[in-house]
Structure 1
Amino acid sequence: MNKIFTKKINWNPNSPQEKLAVTLISKLSKSGFKTFIVGGYVRDLLLRRKETGAIDLATNATPQQVTKKLEKDYKVVPTGIKHGTVTVVKAGSEIEITTFRKEGKYLDARHPKKVKYIKDQSQDASRRDFTINALYLDVIKKEVIDYVGGFSDLKKKTLRFVGAPDKRIKEDALRLMRAVRFASVFGFKLEPKAIEIIRKNAKLLKKISAERIKQELDKIVKFKNRSRGVVMLLKFGLLKQILPEIEQMNHTVQSQNYHSEGNVFVHTMLALDLVESDADLTTLYGLLLHDLGKIVTLVKTRRKGRAHTSFYGHQHKGVEMASNLLNRLRFSNAETEDILWYIKNHHVPYEITKMRKSKQMSWGLEDRFENLLKIFRADSLATIPTDKKGRKLKPDMRSYYKAVSIMKRARGRKVLQKPLLSGNDVMRVLKVKEGPVVGRALRRVREAQLAGKLKTKTAAIKFLKK
């Protein structure tokens, strides 16, 4: 039996969810049930992270006992009753309460065939994924209890599976990606034997639904250490299972004189490191996939005695490939539309100075152009050319600053032409419901208006019907 460690903490409930948790624990405690805050919230609390994970409770009360005790004062939803979980809802706050349990065999790399309720939280801790997520906060005593060595691993910045890594992974194969996410987000190292077992079991990700894969990928991509996470997915053999197209980028070379930083994958990872911190998720995916088309458009030649690569039309091929990828991972229609738009147009900021003034104005007023510039900025900063002697030069940012200037000039006009049509107009004329098609139609009409081709609402409606 592992040694049990405890740690006193100075903790006071401040947020509505924290206060709700204390109230629920108090009510269950008065009926003789042991209840603790567990999981990511406790981990983040000990790491002193500004943003903590959602609060989850673990108890020796059965779901039926929890429901009976709380349903008079709260809405209690049997969200995972088969596995011992109910969700308590109060004024916008939600908390999952799960009964201490032991789990039977896993048949689908996600769900146990059956669970057995138990009274001992130390046994409950032994079924959890990582030691840093298996810590129990007793809010009454204000102490954290560690049954599996989580305190030590937090101090050493080590990510370690609870018990046998192979067993934990085969219980839920998504833990392969969760291991990467936690290691990259927290800057932790994985124990060597865990890395070996992750590589060995990489193919188990095929059993996980696309929706769950995407949810985990979103969490990796949106954090600042995103490139570390994607590189770990590559090194552990996971990228090949979920995003083989991106894995192939690591085998797509680029001209040394234009891209001394390295191949397409290396360039993209550098760009992810250099993107502005406020970039939203679709912008980040647009950046991750902006050069995807290069893997099928690569042409190797020689120019002035040096090896040269070209990728003509890669943005259009990239749209085609990314469309399949995004559909496979169940991205929403709105997400897909934006990401494909970024891929298709990621060279526009470079080309915009050669466009007509009306076209420049149209691009400058496009809602997504500012995000496109974030992609272009990171792409430009991650493009490191060399001189004839092979010495590295500074990235060329002139096109970026010119594009920013055009956008500011377009958006800084004191009097802008009022749009000729509204979203409701488009839905009525085209007889469609609200969705991406409405946005596309509005942008098409707006561009024609700014180019001087449309001056009245009647003309805009006729244009739309074509």
Structure 2
Amino acid sequence: MPSPSSPSSSSPATAQPSAALLRQAVAHLAPVVPILTELGQLFAGAGHEIALVGGPVRDAFLGRTSPDLDFTTSAAPDQTQRLLAGWGDAHWDIGKEFGTIGARRGDVTVEVTTYRADAYDHQTRKPVVAFGDNLEDDLVRRDFTMNAMALRLPSLEFVDPYAGLADLARKVLRTPGSPEVSFADDPLRMMRAARFAAQLGAHLDPAVEQAMRERAKTLQIVSAERIRDEFSKLLLAPQPRAGLEILVETGLADQMLPELPALKLEVDEHHRHKDVYEHSLIVLEQAIALEGPADGPADSVPGPDLVLRLAALLHDIGKPATRKFEDGGGVSFHHHEVVGAKMAAKRLKALRYDKETVKAVARLVELHLRFHGYGEGQWTDSAVRRYITDAGPLLQRLHRLTRSDSTTRNRRKAERLSRTYDELEVRIVRLQEQEELGRVRPELDGNQISEVLGIKPGPLLGRAYKYLLSVRLDEGPIGEEAAKERLLQWWADQPESQTGSTQ
């Protein structure tokens, strides 16, 4: 690692926070101060140093509560484990190989890591663990200066050897040592920079940005799971656009989400189509604005909602592959929603997202244009029923995605689209109330169909079930007797009814 005297760029002189500012930060930690004091005294009594470090310290100065309590110590892992075993209700050593021991006491979970001086082989990202012997050397190996601040315990002495507090005040992302070496140690730190821009409204130090551009391709050695988790945190941040722009501008997106920079279609000289990349970022921002409060009911799509945000960002990724310049001077993207759904599923699978998330996002991308067939409200009740059932549990997200997809600067057109969708939503609510479409089923179940037709369970029974479901969607409730009549009429036209086959 570089020495403390070689930061990523010229840094402001290290200064202690004012007494008032430090008191405010400590006051924000008040709920956990008893834990901090107790752990500090426990380790000090055994002859070891311990300090609260990283995110909890940064967040205390921001007036925020950190969900994690991370500590660093001079104690070896075995020593830490013995101390925490006597302190906590439970403890675990799953990270012991890397010097980390976890413990829980009541509702509080802590992780304590031995001072580190890691090195990596820069090929497989497998760390070669080397334990350090002082706090300052431990702090220099951390990702950014604002995360390289600490509070020694139990004294609550503030330690900031790399001017992290000044950088936090300036909202600048700077590495404690050389950014080239820091990103070589762990390329995921480059994505973390984008995430902090989205979460904290921070900007990149020029040396950090340059190193990210030069080392973007090294992201390839990071596992898909780690990239996925960092990308999700970015998308769920208050200002994901800022982070996404950094991913694209530095070339990181080319490595983990190439479909996003591909949306920067070359605009032809006549400007016959809008900037799809810019449009997608606006749709994302508008979708976020339509999320409900975090503690709101399910039908409000409580935010932050990962599925909605992924769908908003990716809804048009099929456009580059389907763009066609028409003879009349226009531009078309026929079936880009179908192509885009397949592309979204493929990319999300590559990033190791779970099956439910992949399925939901792809379905929203596939359905995001369906509303535009509504015209001026000409859809029949049958078409509205199909819209509801095709969306299924994604209906409320689809409402928000569809509304967000209007980025026209033509005020009259925007107002007309909004009114039309208002009318569609009113029809949807009315039909749902009348027919409970969220639980729509054929009016005969599988057993009844089998009994009426005298057939056994199998593909034929499945076809009969689908037929009755289509009747239900097209005509609404018609009653069991009418359903039996329609089923028998359908059966009379099936070749199996003539051959006597029941399979």
Number of the residue aligned with 1:209: 223
- Give the direction of change, closer, same or farther, for the CA distance of 1:13–1:85 in structure 2 (3 Å limit): same
1:108 aligns with 2:116: no
CA contact (8 A) 1:364 1:407 kept: yes
CA deviations on 1:139-170 (whole Å, 9 max, x unpaired) are: 53344321111011112111101110000000
Q: Give the secondary-structure state (helix, strand or coil) at the position aligned to 2:405.
A: helix
Identify which of 392, 410, 421 aligns with 2:431: 410
- Shift of residue 371, structure 1, vs aligned partner: 0.6
Identify which of 398, 404, 423 aligns with 1:378: 404
Q: How far apart, CA to CA, are the structure 1 residues paired with 2:69 and 2:467?
A: 46
1:320 aligns with 2:330: no
Number of the residue aligned with 1:133: 147
- Give the direction of change, closer, same or farther, for the CA distance of 1:300–1:146 in structure 2 (3 Å limit): same
1:300 aligns with 2:325: yes
- Shift of residue 102, structure 1, vs aligned partner: 1.6
Instruction: Show the 5 A alignment for 1:78-97.
Output: 78-91=93-106, 93-97=108-112
CA contact (8 A) 1:58 1:97 kept: yes
CA contact (8 A) 1:13 1:22 kept: no
- Give the direction of change, closer, same or farther, for the CA distance of 1:60–1:4 in structure 2 (3 Å limit): farther
* AA at the equivalent of 2:209: I
Number of the residue aligned with 2:419: 398
* AA at the equivalent of 1:407: I
* AA at the equivalent of 2:307: T
Q: Give the secondary-structure state (helix, strand or coil) at the position aligned to 1:334.
A: helix
1:290 aligns with 2:315: yes
CA deviations on 1:276-300 (whole Å, 9 max, x unpaired) are: 2445100110111111111111011
CA contact (8 A) 2:40 2:50 kept: yes
Number of the residue aligned with 1:339: 361
Q: How far apart, CA to CA, are the structure 2 residues paired with 1:395 and 1:17?
A: 54
- Shift of residue 394, structure 1, vs aligned partner: 7.1
> Where does the alignment leave 5 or more consecutive residues of structure 1 unmatched?
432-441
The more displaced of 232-241 and 1-10 is 1-10
Q: How far apart, CA to CA, are the structure 1 residues paired with 2:431 and 2:260?
A: 36
Q: How far apart, CA to CA, are the structure 2 residues paired with 1:339 and 1:245?
A: 15
* AA at the equivalent of 2:143: D
* AA at the equivalent of 2:421: Y
Number of the residue aligned with 1:243: 257
CA contact (8 A) 2:388 2:395 kept: yes
- Give the direction of change, closer, same or farther, for the CA distance of 1:447–1:334 in structure 2 (3 Å limit): farther
CA contact (8 A) 1:254 1:309 kept: no
Bigger CA radius of gyration: 2
1:35 aligns with 2:47: no
Instruction: Show the 5 A alignment for 1:11-30.
Output: 11-12=26-27, 20-30=35-45
CA contact (8 A) 1:78 1:86 kept: yes
- Give the direction of change, closer, same or farther, for the CA distance of 1:349–1:277 in structure 2 (3 Å limit): same
The more displaced of 270-279 and 126-135 is 270-279
- Shift of residue 114, structure 1, vs aligned partner: 2.8
Q: How far apart, CA to CA, are the structure 2 residues paired with 1:404 and 1:299?
A: 33
Number of the residue aligned with 2:387: 363
CA deviations on 1:159-217 (whole Å, 9 max, x unpaired) are: 10111000000000001101111123212121112111110000001001111111111
Number of the residue aligned with 1:99: 114
Number of the residue aligned with 2:451: none
Q: How far apart, CA to CA, are the structure 2 residues paired with 1:448 and 1:48?
A: 59
* AA at the equivalent of 1:295: P
Q: Give the secondary-structure state (helix, strand or coil) at the position aligned to 2:176.
A: coil
Normalised to the residue count of structure 1, the TM-score between the two structures is: 0.82
* AA at the equivalent of 2:312: L
Identify which of 236, 250, 272 aligns with 1:222: 236
- Give the direction of change, closer, same or farther, for the CA distance of 1:323–1:143 in structure 2 (3 Å limit): same
Number of the residue aligned with 2:90: 75
Q: How far apart, CA to CA, are the structure 1 residues paired with 2:246 and 2:308?
A: 21
- Shift of residue 256, structure 1, vs aligned partner: 7.4
- Give the direction of change, closer, same or farther, for the CA distance of 1:316–1:201 in structure 2 (3 Å limit): same
CA deviations on 1:370-399 (whole Å, 9 max, x unpaired) are: 11111111111x233599xxxx98784333
Alignment RMSD (CA, Å): 3.7
- Shift of residue 252, structure 1, vs aligned partner: 5.5
Q: How far apart, CA to CA, are the structure 1 residues paired with 2:144 and 2:191?
A: 13
- The percentage of counterpart residues that share the same residue type is 26
Normalised to the residue count of structure 2, the TM-score between the two structures is: 0.77
- Give the direction of change, closer, same or farther, for the CA distance of 1:204–1:182 in structure 2 (3 Å limit): same
Q: How far apart, CA to CA, are the structure 1 residues paired with 2:277 and 2:427?
A: 31
CA deviations on 1:74-114 (whole Å, 9 max, x unpaired) are: 32211221221111133454321101122234343634323
Q: Give the secondary-structure state (helix, strand or coil) at the position aligned to 1:101.
A: coil
CA deviations on 1:216-238 (whole Å, 9 max, x unpaired) are: 11011112311121111111111
Identify which of 259, 278, 285 aligns with 1:273: 285
- Shift of residue 447, structure 1, vs aligned partner: 7.3
* AA at the equivalent of 1:282: V
CA contact (8 A) 2:132 2:138 kept: no
Instruction: Show the 5 A alignment for 1:413-432.
Output: 413=434
CA deviations on 1:316-335 (whole Å, 9 max, x unpaired) are: 11112112111111110000
* AA at the equivalent of 2:366: K
- Give the direction of change, closer, same or farther, for the CA distance of 1:65–1:373 in structure 2 (3 Å limit): same
CA contact (8 A) 1:87 1:97 kept: yes
Number of the residue aligned with 1:438: none
> Where does the alignment leave 5 or more consecutive residues of structure 2 unmatched?
6-12, 293-302, 448-455, 459-464, 485-489, 491-501
The more displaced of 176-185 and 361-370 is 361-370
Number of the residue aligned with 1:437: none
Q: How far apart, CA to CA, are the structure 1 residues paired with 2:235 and 2:188?
A: 16
